[in-house]
Structure 1
């Protein structure tokens, strides 16, 4: 057997879940059992490069011998066309009470045989050939599942001790088992989705059944988000109070998270007291400098020690789920960017338009779309070539990005045309921004290899709500019509689309 280590995929794989701080810092230990070709798969090398400890075995005997001295987190096992040796390995792993997550990889055995593998203790069965992304996904989910299992197992061990010393309190233990089942369901529900909105919904759906609460607040930085929930409309005032306090707390949070803050504690930072409420907060640590909060409150009765344990375990699972969602969001972000300018691409910008259009239709919230087109850009390409033209577009993208708010979205529609979406903005403010942007570009000297060039842009603006705009295409068409009018009026100007469909010259020319 062999073992190596390095650093490529480590950010995508959760760490080892144990109670020892030293073990917690160790990378996951992976056992790979199979023929030589199976052991040479590129995915194992990539996992080693990410810092994971990978041990390779040619057969089950050597693997079982190594488990006692080096307990693995995950076992990847090759399955042959005749699966009986695999069934025997699963039974022997159960006999030695290994808590490793077992992922099998092999040919299509049929539903009945695969079901038997899962019944005998395997976490997943991957039909080969399995892409690296599928293997990594199974690994990540397996580690999450193992962490939840260990937490439930540890808590079950505590319950066994209580049962031995307090045999008369069987009803209490029965209630605990119900809570553990609910905790397991909630942990699985949190681990499933890869977006923070769905995770928040799963939390609200499951937490109140696990620990009776009246109000829940969840907040996280980077990006700054706050979610709140209340049991009934009777607690709406408390919910709004919690929401306001979470927002103010995150605005003030800047110091790194200390180890002492990682424990469940009473929230004594200034939340106004209500009539004898039970108030608890669980810090959610995503990195040494990034911390969120899970806040719970109820009007009747303090939280018991057992409830604090449950809340702490929920906090651990919630931290991991939100961290994984953030990684997924980062990957989605990369897929939504224009390769040249790093602005949003056309598809991503149209998704923003769709979201703002829905908000405008539902809440009558105003928003503006600004289309910007570089005047006579062909002359720039003719003079400096496409490389020089690309550098000009990159610089224009930077100027536009620096001119807008963090809540605004800037994208490249293609070629020399750009779009800016301004949420909660009326035409007057959009026109001010558009004119300032037009003026900045007009008076900016764009340096390229072999010289410099002056650039002007034509701008069209369309606002919602608007009786003539009911779809994203109509919104884009309205802004494009205003842009076309700006081109027709001599370029280097800003034109606004009005509700009656007319185009009004706002500035420039």
Structure 2
């Protein structure tokens, strides 16, 4: 019997009882347990004629089975003598978690025994003989009480469910607040730095605490860089596969687009699909089953990046997708700011005409190399290169032609040196080249090759082909006569002066005067 029907049945009892105490409308189900003669009382037949369901039992076990199966509205239980059997039955009945109204019928057993039965779960105890009016009054009151109990129980269940939902919502809200705080902290950390390496480290650390991730990949163009992170060393192999995959599929000329769970359709690249991920056979492809996510990073109009995220267990939810897209926006902004800052730094350190380091930046490099050479006794050489008769080019062909020669010479020197070497414009037509970890013999070979290349180079100017030569001075450290950066520069400049004095278009190595050499050696010996 469903809840609404039971409520209707029991609510209607009061009205029906006022008109006829022997009638209960709508019908109820009543289980009768007792001796055979107890079953044949006229009251039960009257209830049956009125449409009520009356079930008769002589054994407690059968009655208990019926209670568990059909949940009757009321149970009328006859007690032959004493309370022991009634209490035993009530204890067994309590284990069924029922809500039937239990009315005990029996001989006089005393107030204490009646009270014990009521405490054990009975609603009423009727002493035989029982009149129909007395029984119907008890049944009516019991069903009203049952109805009230069920209403309270249902309300309690609804309250418990509401409290459970509120607890779940509170926990979800608490988790979401923590997530938002972590997201806010991560975006602040990303945008607070102007160093791309620091930004990437903060990204990998922050994302791993923000959402469950197994692998993170970041690809950037100009310069083309691939960086990856994995949750533990157990993921190293998969991390390398993701790195290789990004290297294959991320082009340097990719153009920005909006975030999507779909394969990233980059200009100049194939769409990323399961077939493209052959080496990643144990992982879903990008955009597949919501286990991976690619977030394009529009770092600048001509610079594209991609943030790749992957998890083995679980899929990305819509909330996580929106949150990670926000991280992507902050990351793109942070990388753009870092790129702009680096560009400004580069502009401040470079000569606007040739693109080489300016004098200040070159002297900073000299200071760094001198400090390392002095501390670790490592070799380094400084070349000062001066273009011979450059003033004549400016005077005869004009400054535009001179500028073209300077730019051409700068490009030639950049091509001639190693990646670790540093080339700068020292001033006018004079250039400086710092050669770290280079002994004097190697520096001399490079200087002589550079001199020959400048001599044989045909520089194009608006007025025609221009040819020029160069004089080069070399100073080497460590040297007992060179105790500061200024002395290092002065030594190279002295060698350059010697090259020009010897007829130009030649390489001269600095050789200290004997008196200076002796003085320097004395200072070095006296040093602690």
Q: What TM-score do you get using the length of structure 1 for normalisation?
A: 0.50
Highest Rg: 1 or 2? 2
Q: What TM-score do you get using the length of structure 2 for normalisation?
A: 0.48
